[in-house]
Structure 1
Amino acid sequence: MNKLIIGNLESIHLPDLGIRDLQVRIDTGAQSSSLHVDNLKRIQRSGRPWVCFDLHPDLYNTDDIVRCESPVHDIRRIKSSNGESQQRYVIRTTIDLGGQTWPIDITLSNRSDMTYLMLLGREGMGDRVLVDPSATFVTTPGSVED
């Protein structure tokens, strides 16, 4: 398999969630991937735990809200960059990066104090990518249709 070369910032799609052109920070120092969400609520669907939440995919337009729902894949204890440990819901969804798609686990968190709404960590990249830390927006977003 040819590895995809990516920069330290990229634009991705999360087609299962209806999210297109989300700018993400690539972080090889982070194990897990994290997504900022608002109004996170746990719900039940057919007896299984799900979460519903809001995303603001455009940093500059907080009026643009996408309401998402996803089954809970896991609940993990995550140590944040400031050293605090917290329990987070984990969802499994599809990522489209540079026209390539694969399943990814994402923790749902409050990243409101961060510049980018999503952090793509090592587990999410797997063995699929090589990171050029000096470059940004190397890939062209794929053509996954909603």
Structure 2
Amino acid sequence: MTEKLTVGCLEMCSLPDIGIHNLEVRVDTGAKTSSLHVDHVKKYSKKGKPWIRFDIHPDAYNVEDVIKCESALFDVRSVKSSNGVSEERYVIKTLLQLGDKSWPIEITLTDRSDMSYLMLLGRQGMAGKVLVDPSQTFLLTSSDS
């Protein structure tokens, strides 16, 4: 068996393929899918393939700070949000880095502006890779690194 990371309910992560680093993520074993709060989503074509452009504000307290991202479109899915409403969401596949480990995950892009955390790491994104200690936070890094 491969060594699994033990994580708390909050951790710092990076999505290096799309230029996002040191992002607080809520680890949620109750959520099936991982999701990321984005703005200004625009679908376009690159070399005949569907791509997505979007903005992220990595610091919720400084909305002037914007990272412009782009990624190949992996899928479009109907996802039931925490309030029970289903919505169509764009899905990207990108590298997640937690501590000194990294692996590809699927992330839905959505409006999480009414949530406390910009990113949610769901079961599919952590399956076989992590163990969660819900009583702890920032086991892999400090939140101000």
TM bin, normalised by shorter chain, reads: over 0.9
Aligned to 2:112: 111
- The Cα shift of 1:58 comes to 1.0
State the secondary structure of the residue aligned to 2:136: coil
> Structure 2 matches for 1:8-87, cutoff 5 A?
8-87=9-88
User: TM-score scaled by structure 2?
Assistant: 0.95
Letter in 2 for 1:23: E
Aligned to 1:144: none
Letter in 1 for 2:82: S
Structure 1: gaps (5+ residues)? 142-146
User: TM-score scaled by structure 1?
Assistant: 0.95
Letter in 2 for 1:32: T
Runs of 4+ off more than 6 Å: none
Could you report, residue by residue, the CA deviation over 1:117-143 in whole angstroms, capped at 9, with x for unpaired residues?
Answer: 0000000001110000000001038xx
Letter in 1 for 2:121: L
Identity of aligned pairs, percent?
A: 57
Letter in 1 for 2:81: S
CA RMSD of aligned residues (A): 0.8
Letter in 2 for 1:7: G
Distance (whole Å) between structure 1 residues aligned to residue 27 and residue 73 of structure 2? 24
Contact 1:40–1:52 (8 Å) recurs in 2: yes
Distance (whole Å) between structure 2 residues aligned to residue 110 and residue 126 of structure 1? 24
Distance (whole Å) between structure 2 residues aligned to residue 43 and residue 93 of structure 1? 18
Letter in 1 for 2:137: T
Structure 1 residues 85-94 or 57-66, which shifts more? 57-66
